[in-house]
Amino acid sequence: MAKGVLVDLTKCIGCRGCQISCKGWNEMSAQKTVMAGDLTNPPRLNAHCYTHIRFQEDEKEGGPVWSFVKDQCFHCKNPACASACPVGALKKTEKGPVTYTFERCIGCRYCMLACPFYIPKYEWEKVVPWIRKCTFCSERIAADLVPACIKTCPTGTMIFGELDDMLKEGRDRITANPGKYVDHIYGEKEAGGTSWMYLSAVPFEWLGFNTRIPAKELPDLTWAYIAKIPAVIGVVLVAGAATWAITRRNQNMDKEE
Ligand code: SF4
Ligand code: SF4
Ligand code: SF4
């Protein structure tokens, strides 16, 4: 059965334990970063940070409202990134995670263009760069473990379980707490539905969520768009494959030396 996550943003205290445990589990190195003038650090998701806590300040009924937003891949039910990938490097798995096989990747970056949530990041600084994004801890889920970020969270902001149960829990919380949440589970319908879903006390557009995503699966739209530029695809594929072959050859030569 497919797994899902319900993220209740009203419970998040911005401790960033999830951010740190994700880096630890995925063996990502620490990076120099900057404070952007608020409590967000690093400033945005990047290739060294699969999940990220964003501080957001808004106003409601004349008073300030502070929110912390956890960003990561939504693991769409029918992901546009996987559909746009010409070599099958990204795949939706039965248990929910959208996984990435770097050995297949040719660096064309179509997934970055296709994702309506702007999630995949590229290792621009590397000689042999790969795409990076949250893995939904697929290897932990396969071993019946909870994703690292969820395991760490001290407030129960995220709950993990069967996708349908998570959706039902989201609806139940909205019904049982009139006025506490906006009447919208973000991810229930966006892009045809996602495995990570959100509850919030303030409208999702205030929190920087893309609220213009249609409530239907996007792969068909993605390919309708990409099909209009076949020549570009060809050039990018050939260039990507050539770059990949050259860098692999260089690596092998380095090893032999
Ligand atoms: S959020 Fe973006 S990167 Fe993640 S599965 Fe959906 S389309 Fe792919
Ligand atoms: S599910 Fe795993 S990879 Fe994704 S944000 Fe959580 S800890 Fe990181
Ligand atoms: S660990 Fe939980 S409370 Fe702390 S920032 Fe992450 S989601 Fe929020």
Q: Which tens digits make up the pLDDT trace of 80-99?
A: 999 999 999 999 999 999 99
Domain boundaries, the chain: 1-226, 230-257
Instruction: Verify whether ligand 3 is closer than 6 Å to residue 70 (CB atom).
Output: yes
Are the CB atoms for 19 and 49 separated by under 8 Å?
A: yes
Gap from CA of 113 to ligand 2 centroid (Å):
22
- Cα–Cα dist 48/86, whole Å: 25
Q: pLDDT-derived band of residue 218, with 50, 70 and 90 as boundaries?
A: confident
Q: Is the pLDDT of residue 223 over 90?
A: no
Mean pLDDT score, 159-188: 98
- Of 40, 6, 4, the C-alpha closest to 156 is 6
3-state class of 5 per DSSP?
strand
From 7, 153, 207, the mutation candidate for ligand 3 (largest count of ligand atoms within 8 A of CB) is: 153
Look up tokens 């001290």; give the residue: 154
Q: Is the pLDDT of residue 202 over 60?
A: yes
Instruction: Work out whether strand 52-60 and strand 63-71 pair parallel, antiparallel, or are unpaired.
Output: antiparallel
Q: Supply the pTM of this predicted model.
A: 0.87
More confident call, 248 vs 25 = 25
Instruction: Verify whether ligand 2 is closer than 6 Å to residue 72 (CB atom).
Output: yes
Token pair belonging to 30: 């620490």
Instruction: Verify whether ligand 2 is closer than 6 Å to residue 137 (CB atom).
Output: yes
Q: What pLDDT was estimated at residue 254?
A: 45
Are the CB atoms for 233 and 225 separated by under 8 Å?
A: no
Mean pLDDT score, 25-33: 91
- Ligand 1, atom 4, lies closest to the CA of 73
Round the average pLDDT of the chain to a whole number and report it: 88
**Cα-to-chain-centroid distance, residue 59:** 27
Q: What pLDDT was estimated at residue 52?
A: 94
Query: What's the CATH class of domain 1-226?
Result: alpha beta
- Cα–Cα dist 163/93, whole Å: 13
Mean pLDDT score, 48-72: 93
Give the number of the ligand closest to the Cα of residue 18.
Answer: 3
- Ligand 1, atom 6, lies closest to the CA of 76
Instruction: Verify whether ligand 2 is closer than 6 Å to residue 138 (CB atom).
Output: no
Instruction: Verify whether ligand 2 is closer than 6 Å to residue 25 (CB atom).
Output: yes
- Cα–Cα dist 84/226, whole Å: 8
Cα torsion 185, 207, 11, 116 to 10°: value is: 50
- Ligand 3, atom 3, lies closest to the CA of 12
Instruction: Verify whether ligand 3 is closer than 6 Å to residue 21 (CB atom).
Output: no
